[in-house]
């Protein structure tokens, strides 16, 4: 069948029998009235712990809550300074504000789109933060992760890693979610490991941090009617866990097909005024999205061609955090070198989703090539 359009993302390419397993599982949960907690939740946390190599995993309501849980668990309190990258999703900024902290945005490196150690050191020395959130964007891991972890530790900065987009991503052969002081992820349906609604998790090897996060996620409960902390309700639902548990059975194939898409673009879009960027050598990415950089003066024209050819695309993200209108009221400080702003104007994401076909990839490539040649 000839391809005449390709969505930026579609969530409906399920494996044979997947939907039936979910529907049967839901029937069982309803019959057993297992709605919150129960074996599906325990199974998910256990599987994630094994897959990511983190001793403790706590499921929660979504990826934003996961960051808030982590900030609260490490001890961020009202007016504590927290560094975040200027290029991330707005949830990172929101989480700091909602936890009572004062966000400082720190610019990213133009080539890697992530923090680099030089700017991170400068920010730590200048702002003396209590905590920092290292964000691993695009399903990559930040290239300077190990150096940033080490510098944070030496300087008493509590480093949380926002891996909302980086389930399955490794650095030096180790999953980033399992090697951070405290990492978080999102199971929003469009993520590589997506639920059928909102869900998230925190990951840590530290027993005491895990215990605090488990209290916070469930009204600060230390037992059923004793509240040792003021938390909130961010418990993960059983339906979401059921969906995620079945999704995990196929996760390797899903990630491989996404990675195939990224490699395809890299291979077939060479020598054009569009640069498909992949993560650093020591990073094994998960194919969350295909990232290309285009001269900002050329991006608008290419976007019009993609639209005309019905090829979906993204611009993740079209604006730096410090420039959002909601930021002004809370921004405590910033290091702004113009890089996040440049990336926002140059980034272009091509279609990338589980089980995208070779025909669809060929159609995207042909559309881009026709535009430039
Ligand atoms: C980098 C990053 N952080 C946090 C989040 C928030 O996750 P959620 O939408 O599950 O709250 C997202 C989700 O898109 C994200 O991409």
Q: Find the residues whose C-beta lies inside 6 A of ligand 1.
A: 62-64, 88-89, 91-92, 135, 162, 164-165, 186, 188, 198, 200
Q: How many CB atoms lie within 10 A of CB 328?
A: 9
- Provide the CA 244 distance to its chain's centre, in angstroms: 16
Topology annotation, domain 18-248: 3.40.640
CA of 259 to the centre of ligand 1 (A): 21
State which ligand 1 atom lies nearest to the alpha carbon of 65.
Answer: 11
Identify the CATH number of the domain defined by range 252-372: 3.90.1150.10
The alpha carbon of 96 and the centre of ligand 1 are apart by a number of angstroms equal to 13
For the CA of 187, the nearest atom of ligand 1 = 10
CA of 64 to the centre of ligand 1 (A): 6
**Residue located nearest, by CA, to atom 8 of ligand 1:** 63
Cα(189) to centroid of ligand 1, in Å?
Answer: 11
The number of the ligand 1 atom at minimal distance from the alpha carbon of 135 is 1
Q: Please tell me the distance from the alpha carbon of residue 214 to that of residue 78, in angstroms, as a whole number.
A: 21
| pTM beyond cutoff 0.95 | yes
At residue 341, the pLDDT reads 97
| In the chain, domain spans | 18-248, 252-372
Pocket test for ligand 1, best of 64, 85, 105, 189 (most atoms within 8 A of CB): 64
Find the 311 Cα to ligand 1 centroid distance in Å. Answer: 25
Residue 32 CA to ligand 1 centre (angstroms)? 32
pLDDT at 279: 86
CA of 186 to the centre of ligand 1 (A): 6
Residue 79 to residues 165, 193, 213, 229, Cα–Cα distance (Å): 28, 34, 20, 19
| Nearest partner of 163 among 66, 244, 258, judged by Cα | 66
CA 310 to chain centre: 27
pLDDT at 220 (0 to 100): 97
SS3 content of the chain, % helix, strand, coil (to 5): 40, 20, 40
Residue whose CA is closest, atom 10 of ligand 1? 63
Q: How many residues does the chain have?
A: 373
Pocket test for ligand 1, best of 92, 164, 199 (most atoms within 8 A of CB): 164
Q: pLDDT by residue for the chain (373 residues), tens digit each?
A: 699 999 999 999 999 999 999 999 999 999 999 999 999 999 999 999 999 999 999 999 999 999 999 999 999 999 999 999 999 999 999 999 999 999 999 999 999 999 999 999 999 999 999 999 999 999 999 999 999 999 999 999 999 999 999 999 999 999 999 999 999 999 999 999 999 999 999 999 999 999 999 999 999 999 989 999 999 999 999 999 999 999 999 999 999 999 999 999 999 999 899 999 988 889 999 999 999 999 999 999 999 999 999 999 999 999 999 999 999 999 999 999 999 999 999 999 999 999 999 999 999 999 999 999 8
Alpha carbon distance 336, 136 (integer Å):
19
Angle CA(102)–CA(105)–CA(108) in degrees, nearest 5?
Answer: 155
Residue nearest to ligand 1 atom 7, measured at CA:
63
Distance 191 CA to ligand 1 centre (A): 9
Which residue of 71, 89, 236 sits with most ligand 1 atoms within 8 Å of its CB, as the best mutation to test the pocket?
89
């Amino acid at each position: 069948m000839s391809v005449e359009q390709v969505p930026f993302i579609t969530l409906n390419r399920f494996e044979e029998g997947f939907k039936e397993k979910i529907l049967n599982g839901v029937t069982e949960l309803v019959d057993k009235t297992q709605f919150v907690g129960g074996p599906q939740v325990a199974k998910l946390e256990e599987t994630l712990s094994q897959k990511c190599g983190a001793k403790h995993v706590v499921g929660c309501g979504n990826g934003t809550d996961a960051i808030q849980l982590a900030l609260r668990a490490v001890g961020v309190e009202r007016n504590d300074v927290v560094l975040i990258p200027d290029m991330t999703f707005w949830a990172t900024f929101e989480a700091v504000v909602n936890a009572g902290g004062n966000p400082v945005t720190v610019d990213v490196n133009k080539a890697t789109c992530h923090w680099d150690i030089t700017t991170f050191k400068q920010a730590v020395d200048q702002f003396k933060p209590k905590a920092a959130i290292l964000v691993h964007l695009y399903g990559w891991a930040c290239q300077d992760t190990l150096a940033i972890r080490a510098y944070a530790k030496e300087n008493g900065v509590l480093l949380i890693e926002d891996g909302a987009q980086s389930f399955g991503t490794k650095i030096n052969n180790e999953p980033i979610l399992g090697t951070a002081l405290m990492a978080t992820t999102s199971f929003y349906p469009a993520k590589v490991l997506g639920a059928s609604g909102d869900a998230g998790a925190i990951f840590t090897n530290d027993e005491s941090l895990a215990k605090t996060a488990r209290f916070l996620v469930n009204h600060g409960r230390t037992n059923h009617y004793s509240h040792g902390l003021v938390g909130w309700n961010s418990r993960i639902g059983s339906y979401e866990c059921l969906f995620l548990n079945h999704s995990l059975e196929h996760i390797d194939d899903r990630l491989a097909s996404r990675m195939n898409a990224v490699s395809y673009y890299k291979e077939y879009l060479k020598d054009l005024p569009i640069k498909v960027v992949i993560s650093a050598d020591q990073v094994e990415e998960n194919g969350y999205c295909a990232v290309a950089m285009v001269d900002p003066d050329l991006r608008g024209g290419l976007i019009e061609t993609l639209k005309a050819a019905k090829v979906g695309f993204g611009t993740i993200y079209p604006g730096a955090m410090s420039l959002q209108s909601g930021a002004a009221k809370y921004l405590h400080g910033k290091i702004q070198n113009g890089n996040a702003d440049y990336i926002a104007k140059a980034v272009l994401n091509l279609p990338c989703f589980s089980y995208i076909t070779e025909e669809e990839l060929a159609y995207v490539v042909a559309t881009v090539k026709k535009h430039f040649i």
